[in-house]
């Protein structure tokens, strides 16, 4: 009885690779099979089983041409998997998945049916060489519903209060749709009251453009937070970086990290449980949403990098509380749901796209923030500087642990709660410390500062 010829695995792998050339790649850095869809030109990741099943079906259907022996030998998934080592080391293998101009360009927005250039206002379908792997969920269409854009402008005018501020915030958000960081600005969305629309605009962006949005942990930019660079791993490819619910006066911003992120360029980051850091290119614009004024050390670098939008509108639940003349509007608890539909997503995109052309075109005016964004941020900086100045005026810094002042005496002298004072005077540490456990004989409650004394004239 004649012996069965041995399987020619290398030859079979070469035949398969020749037929799959141009439609399949193996990225060695991620150990991922990538397959392009003929109709959309979008590349999708395949598991080993998915890839094996696809190829075996193509062999059985004769879409991949092989010798009769090869087709018989390698037309099953289990047998085909024996070819994988040859395929992973053959012509289909690349060091990393390629990037094209469409994916690298900070001005393009990726839709399922093509890409849109925010500077030129031009849309084009994808080509096979674009190497697109991820897109937005809704299909691009030219604007056909100007009424929806007008409706959204009316809604946003209620949130921001003035036409100038509304247009300025739309321009800022248009910049946040690009991957550019040339303006080197970050935005504080400050709203001390509830139901002021502060989160609405950010939530709309998150729903319409999830591909470019990331919400970071509230402690990411806290001073001395050890895991900040792990959180920042999530910002790769993201253009709108949102940080909500800062810990008010209980935490202080890491101004060095804020400057690094706002300036763009390369930042050292690392993965969780991986001690090795790597450099990552930053595209995102930082947006801080807060109910309290953020606390940070003020210097010239911080003063020139920020903008602050103060949200003064109030959205009320009862009809009788509505007063348009005083910025009180009826709340719509389901407002964000209208952006579940593609029509409103497109309308929002076209509003931003129009602003983007104005911002990016030479002579178009650039970002041009409204004056209240500058003055609002100046007030934030002044507030941070004034607390430390006032503290030094009220107390002598001795740095002695034997010198103590109760929290009640400090609050009375400053007219400010401890939760705001403590982070604002961080530069005085370690000589000045707030300790919640120390007692004062004349007061029942605990808590106070060590390392300071009341100035003589105030005793």
**pLDDT above 80 for 282:** yes
- Which of 366, 398, 426 is where one domain is finished? 366
Q: Are residues 116 and 248 in the same domain?
A: no
- Pure H helices in 264-299: none
Q: Domain check: are 83 and 115 in the same one? A: no
Same domain, yes or no: 75 and 18? yes
| 440 and 329 both lie in a single domain | no
Contact 149, 347 (CB under 8 A): yes
Give the domain range for residue 118.
101-130
In a domain, 253, yes or no: yes
Establish if 141 belongs to a structural domain: no
- Does the residue 187 lie in any domain? yes
Number of domains in the chain: 4
Phi and psi at residue 436, to the nearest 5°:
-80, -15
**Domain holding 249: CATH number?**
3.40.50.300
Is 2 inside a domain boundary? no
Paired tokens of 16:
């398969």
Q: Is residue 139 part of a domain?
A: no
Are residue 302 and residue 178 in the same domain, yes or no? yes
Across 126-133, average pLDDT: 90
Domain shared by 218 and 333, yes or no: yes
Are residue 176 and residue 304 in the same domain, yes or no? yes
Tens digits of residue pLDDT in 147-194? 999 999 999 999 999 999 999 999 999 999 999 999 999 999 998 888
- Of 396, 383, 410, nearest to 188 by C-alpha is 383
Residue 216 and residue 211: Cα distance in Å, rounded? 15
Pair 320, 400 in one domain: no
Regarding whether 252 and 275 lie in a shared domain, the answer is yes
Tokens 């080391």, located at residue? 89
Residues 357 and 290 in one domain: yes
Statement: residue 5 has pLDDT above 60:
no
Contacts of 41 (CB under 8 A, 6+ apart): 125, 126, 127, 128, 130, 132
Burial class (CB within 10 angstroms; exposed 0-12, middle 13-18, buried 19+) of 82: middle
What sign has the CA pseudo-torsion 196, 202, 205, 207? Answer: negative
Q: What is the pLDDT of residues 402-429, one digit of tens each?
A: 999 998 889 888 888 888 888 778 778 7
The confidence band for 272, taking pLDDT boundaries of 50, 70 and 90, is low
Statement to judge: residues 306 and 451 lie in one domain: no
The pLDDT assigned to 283 comes to 93
**Which residue, 45, 4, 28, is CA-closest to 92?**
28
- Residue 164 inside a domain? The answer is yes
Specify if 137 maps to a domain.
Answer: no
Which has the closest alpha carbon to 294: 306, 311, 312, 282?
306
pLDDT for res 421? 85
What's the rounded Cα separation, in Å, for the pair 71 and 65?
Answer: 8
């Amino acid at each position: 009885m004649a012996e069965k010829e041995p399987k020619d695995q290398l030859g079979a792998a070469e035949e398969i690779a020749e037929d799959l050339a141009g439609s399949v790649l193996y990225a060695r850095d991620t150990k991922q099979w990538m397959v392009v869809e003929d109709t959309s030109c979008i590349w999708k990741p395949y598991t080993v089983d998915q890839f094996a099943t696809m190829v075996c079906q193509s062999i059985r259907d004769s879409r991949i041409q092989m010798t009769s022996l090869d087709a018989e030998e390698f037309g099953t998934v289990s047998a085909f998997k024996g070819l994988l080592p040859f395929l992973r080391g053959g012509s289909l293998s690349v060091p990393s998945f390629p990037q094209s101009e469409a994916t690298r360009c900070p001005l393009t927005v990726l839709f399922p049916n093509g890409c849109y250039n925010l500077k030129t206002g031009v849309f084009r379908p994808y080509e096979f060489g674009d190497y697109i792997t991820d897109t937005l969920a809704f299909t691009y269409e030219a604007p056909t519903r100007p009424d929806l854009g007008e409706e959204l402008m009316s809604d946003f005018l209620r949130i921001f209060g003035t036409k100038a501020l509304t247009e300025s915030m739309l321009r800022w958000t248009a910049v946040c749709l690009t991957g550019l960081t040339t303006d080197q600005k970050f935005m504080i969305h400050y709203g001390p009251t509830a139901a002021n629309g502060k989160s609405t605009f950010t939530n709309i962006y998150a729903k319409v453009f999830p591909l470019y949005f990331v919400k970071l942990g509230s402690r990411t930019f806290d001073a001395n937070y050890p895991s900040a660079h792990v959180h920042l791993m999530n910002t790769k490819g993201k253009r709108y970086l949102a940080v909500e619910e800062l810990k008010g006066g209980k935490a202080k911003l890491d101004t060095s990290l804020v400057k690094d992120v706002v300036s763009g360029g390369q930042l050292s980051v690392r993965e969780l449980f991986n001690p090795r850091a790597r450099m990552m290119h930053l595209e995102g614009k930082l947006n801080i949403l807060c109910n309290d004024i953020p606390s940070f050390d003020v210097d010239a670098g911080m003063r020139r990098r920020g903008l602050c939008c103060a949200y003064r509108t109030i959205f009320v639940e009862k009809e009788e509380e509505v007063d348009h003349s005083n910025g009180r509007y009826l709340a719509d608890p389901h407002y964000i749901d209208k952006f579940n539909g593609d029509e409103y997503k497109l309308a929002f995109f076209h509003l931003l796209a129009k602003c983007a052309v104005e911002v990016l075109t030479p002579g178009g005016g650039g970002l041009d923030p409204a004056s209240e964004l500058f003055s609002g941020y100046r007030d934030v900086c002044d507030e941070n500087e004034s607390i430390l100045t006032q503290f030094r005026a009220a107390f002598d810094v001795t740095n002695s642990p034997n010198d103590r002042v109760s929290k009640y005496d400090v609050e009375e002298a400053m007219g400010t709660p401890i939760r705001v004072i403590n982070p604002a005077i961080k530069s005085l540490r370690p000589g000045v410390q707030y300790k919640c456990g120390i007692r004062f004989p004349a007061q029942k409650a605990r808590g106070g500062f060590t390392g300071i004394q009341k100035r003589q004239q105030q005793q």
